[in-house]
Amino acid sequence: KNEAEAADWYRRAAERKEPRAMSVYALMLIDGTVVAHDRPRGLALLRQLAEDGYSSADLLLGQVLEAGRGGAAPDLPGAVQQYKHGCDNTASEDAKRNGHTEACRRYAQMLKDGRGTDADPDKAAEVLKKLDVERILDAANDTLLKRDR
């Protein structure tokens, strides 16, 4: 009963467009956990979140597509596309905190291995180098902000 109540809570919060609830509910639909299996609806929720700039949705959607969760065959080109979208999304603090780095890492790995895309080790190295530069700049900004206080 508690699981069904939790699922109902996530459903209602997802209907109110609460991003975290939408992502949890989407995975419940994709996997058929506690709720009726509805992979297309779950994917649509994750895609909507990704379109709205919620970067962890790109990562989650990439993982779902890469693994073939919810009973579907893996969609490696689709996973590459979602990881790239999440990697390119650097416009918000949400992106930096919630999935951007991992999406970039996974995108680079798929480029390096040629999974779902043509192998491109140079592009993979470029993606990882960009992450290193972002990390260094973020650390420098944090240091400067602390010093100004």
pLDDT tens for 4-48 read: 999 999 999 999 999 999 999 999 999 998 999 999 999 999 999
- Give the tens place of pLDDT for each residue, 35-87: 999 999 999 999 999 998 887 899 999 999 999 999 999 999 999 999 999 88
pLDDT at 147 over 70: no
Distance of CA 110 to the CA centre of its chain: 15
Q: What is the pLDDT of residue 124?
A: 94
Q: What is the pLDDT of residue 1?
A: 72
Q: What is the pLDDT of residue 77?
A: 98
Residues in the chain: 149
pLDDT at 91 over 60: no
Q: Are 17 and 53 in contact (CB under 8 A)?
A: no
Residue 37 phi/psi, 5° resolution? -60, 120
pLDDT at 96 over 60: no
Res. 140 pLDDT band, cuts 50 70 90: low
Q: Are 11 and 38 in contact (CB under 8 A)?
A: no
- pLDDT, mean of residues 89-97: 58
Determine whether 10 is exposed, middle or buried from the number of CB atoms within 10 Å of its CB (0-12, 13-18, 19+): buried
> What's the DSSP call for residue 73?
P
